[in-house]
Chains A and B, each alone.
Chain A
Amino acid sequence: MSVEILTVVYFACLFISLFLGLPVALGLGGTAAIFALLLEPRALMTLPSAFFSTSWNSILVTVPLFLLMGNLIRFSGIADAAYDAVYKLIGHIAGGLAIGTVQVCTIFAAVTGITPPATITMGQIAYPSMMRYNYDRRIAIGSIAAGGALGALIPPSVPFIFYGLLANASIGDLFLAGVVPGVMLAIFYSVYIGVRCAFQPHLGPPLPAELKFTPREKLNSVLGIWPFVVLIVIVLGVIWGGIATPAEAAAFGATAAVFINLIYRQLSWYVIRESLAATARLAGMGLWILIGATAFLSIFNTLGMQHIITDLVLGMPGGETGILAMMMLIILLLGMVMDDWAIIMLCTPLFLPIIEILEINKIWFGVLFIVNIQMAYLTPPFGFVLFWIRGILPKGVHMGDVYRSVWPFVALQLLGLMLIFMLPEIALWLPNIVD
């Protein structure tokens, strides 16, 4: 069998098993296992190895700890009170809560280098509140998913660091280059929500006009947000203050959530037990998908399928634009099955020689790369943000609901990608003025 056909069969096996309802983690791992078994049995050892080394990665500890932080806040009911305050404050704007969610995600993105924390936390806190105020499910899910994905674009960013290492590009410049595109996307999302809800108020109902709050009530409501402010300041503060690494900051966030519950006298045995149980369920699900994806990629490489990608790019007509467009398309397609680290590890070494021959700016390409990966997070059928969201939301929410929620935001990401493609200054302006 030619390697081209093998690649098609490999992906077909995965997608068919997933669409027939096999859990994602088992579909990824099972496809890897059966192809290794039939074609390269000595590579089978990489499956337990992928399990061990994926979870051994020390940055991953952020996943259960940020989950725990969100769960503690959620089960204690503090989040509802705080969101009630937000509602009083900006509730008169149609879609205000969803816009607020995007803003908080943006702040979260400036705290963490990866995507799951903002998605996980806001999925647990903001979603139930938006449902309580009769927001449309799609606006709610979309704002959390798109906002959460910003974590990789706005510095600090682990994907930028890995790209910088492999491309031998300045990480500092990459960080700076991510700021404007990240903020730009956050504004796009906010404007979209605001405009859409202004025309279709039932999607994000504003407060009834007769319901007014006194300045005193509003001030009190602002004070009601303090647990969130404290959490964000602590997590952000210990990182930017040079006290802790991102992994350690997650432990601070969870610990702070415990103390906030204590102050509110909400730290019951029930809250602790349910928070830990919910955290274990989500962490177990997410880690197994990561493990399955790592195994899937390892066998993909072992069977020599990565060469397909180079051939595809180099065979592309249309000169520089054609080749760049092909690279972007490949990243997007790989994003359907792989996580961000895996794509960067796989594509950067393959694409970089081409980038250097074409004399394309490596910082600019890096930003295009990461914006593209954000789209990969959100594009069905397979995107890591989608899985986290689906795992967090109540049982009644289906994957189809999630898919239908994200497409306007994916369109906005595509618009952003096009703009950065046509106007490289959007990315390069900030690093240029700093240098």
Chain B
Amino acid sequence: QDSGPPDEVTEWTIQPCFDNSDAGWASGVLPWADAVEKATEGSVQIEVVPAGSITSGGEAFGAAAAGVTDGVACWATVYGGDMPAGMLAFGLPMGAESPEEAWEVMWGDDYRVGDLVQEAASQRNLYFAGWTNQGPNAMFTTFEVRGLADFEGRKMRAGGPQAMFHEAIGGTPVSMDAGDIYTAIRLGTVDGTYWDTGGVDNMSFDEVIDYAVMPGWNPAQHQSTYVNLDSWNALTEWQQDQINGIFEEVYFETSRMHLDGVDEALQAVEDSGGEVVYLSDEEVGKLRQVAIEEVWPDIADLSDLAAEGVDIYERYMRDNGKL
């Protein structure tokens, strides 16, 4: 009797920590929701509402945990204070460099970092149900960058792990509202910002910055979808299997969509007279060293599960000759 959709339709409301202007909306959470509806043969219906509809972006994770919503799509840079092990799903700075590498360290038989994230989610009454790679989270500057040394003394808007990283490479991180960044760059209050590459054109940053620095400080930034555990447990085993069954397929499909968005954003930077800088292998190596030596230990300090995950990440890097 477990091999088909139940008669009763389950309706979920999911509020991400971002609104519908974010790349993660059309290329991340919506395709996942569609895939879930299709895989469950319509027995799970999902309404995705923008941040601010039910609760603010910053409170979205807690709202899903408390059952105010049925789920949340988010970055660990936002919910990191609620679940430090989420950084493992977000992607460690200069860790994986492509969707394939990230998949390997999260779900490959030798590593299974994803299980640690699932455990952390479970402790918070959540189920880790969806994942997508958004491409590089990078530096966008008004000053010329050819290598690590160029960031010395530069004021850049950075939050959470970005700020840890920017300080580690000798810069001065500045915190401000997303809505203030554009004006601040234009006026020179900051010399640039850290941002996810695919969203740079949505924020019109291409109008005010001159350099996009690839592969950024995190070549494979990820967004994760968590479903309230009570909502999840209310599904039949068949529905749960169907949703788990689309995890990998949706991951690679949406990651491709995101990477198209990254290409478009970089094109927008070039179209408005900016330059896309691809750092040399040597400089990328320096960035990686700083990230692993200075930022990874700070992430490991945040929780036991995070520490366990950072250990596995290091083993993965060694196995692949990057450490």
Q: A residues bordering B, Cβ < 8 Å?
A: 42-43, 45-46, 49-50, 52-54, 56-59, 113, 156, 158, 161-162, 164-166, 168-172, 239-247, 298, 301-302, 306, 342, 345, 349
Q: B residues bordering A, Cβ < 8 Å?
A: 19-21, 49-50, 52-56, 58-59, 62-63, 66-68, 175-180, 182-184, 186-189, 201-204, 207-208
Residue of B58, B177, B189 near A53 (CB, 8 A) is B58
Report Cα–Cα, A46/B49, bound state, in Å.
14
Contact B179 A161 (CB under 8 A): yes
Minimal Cβ-Cβ distance residue in A for B50? A349
Residue of A43, A56, A162, A164 near B58 (CB, 8 A) is A56
26 contacts between A and B (CB under 8 A): A45-B68, A49-B59, A49-B62, A49-B63, A50-B55, A53-B56, A54-B56, A56-B58, A59-B179, A113-B183, A161-B182, A165-B21, A165-B202, A165-B204, A166-B20, A171-B204, A241-B187, A245-B180, A245-B189, A301-B49, A301-B53, A302-B54, A306-B53, A345-B19, A349-B20, A349-B50
Taking CB atoms, residues of chain B closer than 8 Å to A49 are 55-56, 59, 62-63, 68
Taking CB atoms, residues of chain A closer than 8 Å to B55 are 45-46, 49-50, 53, 298
Report Cα–Cα, A164/B178, bound state, in Å.
12
Nearest Cβ on chain B to A64's Cβ, whole angstroms: 17
Taking CB atoms, residues of chain A closer than 8 Å to B19 are 166, 345, 349
Taking CB atoms, residues of chain A closer than 8 Å to B189 are 239, 242-245
Report Cα–Cα, A172/B182, bound state, in Å.
9
Contact B177 A59 (CB under 8 A): yes
Residue of B63, B66, B187 near A242 (CB, 8 A) is B187
Contact B68 A42 (CB under 8 A): yes
Taking CB atoms, residues of chain B closer than 8 Å to A239 are 187, 189
Taking CB atoms, residues of chain A closer than 8 Å to B187 are 239-242
Taking CB atoms, residues of chain A closer than 8 Å to B204 are 164-165, 169-172
Report Cα–Cα, A165/B21, bound state, in Å.
7
- Having A165-B202, A166-B20, one finds 10 other A-B pairs with CB under 8 Å, namely A46-B63, A49-B56, A49-B68, A161-B179, A161-B182, A164-B182, A166-B19, A171-B204, A172-B204, A349-B20
Report Cα–Cα, A162/B19, bound state, in Å.
11
Taking CB atoms, residues of chain B closer than 8 Å to A242 are 184, 187-189
Taking CB atoms, residues of chain B closer than 8 Å to A113 are 179-180, 183
Report Cα–Cα, A301/B186, bound state, in Å.
35
Nearest Cβ on chain B to A287's Cβ, whole angstroms: 15
Taking CB atoms, residues of chain B closer than 8 Å to A165 are 21, 178-179, 202-204
